[in-house]
Structure 1
């Protein structure tokens, strides 16, 4: 029950919902989230830590980068429906996905 309460608390913030929406697409580093949502590194990191503490996301380190992805847990499967059936029908979340796509394309072009 405690895990469910922590998950629900984590979902009560719009920025955290926007981050989860992005992480449903792919694993991302903090810089990807910052650029896509146009938020500061401190704000992105703070929300990612909150989501990690609620066991909704997990992280892995690679060199100086930290990458975040969804933590898969059947007990909180309702979040899939929240994202796919609800959030992705809203313009803000659709715009975030387009911004992510545009950012990743620019990032790839700059690396070549």
Structure 2
């Protein structure tokens, strides 16, 4: 695991916290993050890469797509509390989950 300093640096950005919140729902491709948060592909990819490099997320490639998910590690258990007890009580993070679910429904039609 990367040092705790790198983890805390990764958590110091609101966009990365919003992405982390989404990744707690399910594995997502870059396009899912882009659509949900209404950010560019470059910005989504950069923040996902930052989370990956900090040891908070993992990726897998499928054809031209990159999919990201949360790295489950006992040493990162405090993230569960951060997301469920703190972020999910804030309106913007709740709205992000609603936007994700709406996007995934439209995408799967």
Shorter chain as normaliser: what TM range? over 0.9
Is the counterpart of residue 64 in structure 1 residue 67 in structure 2? no
Give, in whole Å, the separation in 2 of the partners of 1:2 and 1:67.
21
In the alignment, structure 2 segments of 5+ residues that lack a partner are none
Moved beyond 2 Å, runs of 4+:
none
Check conservation: 1:4, 1:76, Cα contact below 8 A.
Answer: no
Change in 2 beyond 3 A, CA 1:74/1:27? same
Matches within 5 A, 1:28-39: 28-39=28-39
Residue 51 of structure 1 aligns to a residue in which SS? helix
Q: What TM-score, normalized by structure 1, do the two folds share?
A: 0.95
- Displacement of 1:5 after TM fit? 1.1
In the alignment, structure 1 segments of 5+ residues that lack a partner are none
1:15 paired residue number: 15
Number of residues of Structure 1 aligned to a counterpart in Structure 2: 109
Check conservation: 2:2, 2:55, Cα contact below 8 A.
Answer: no
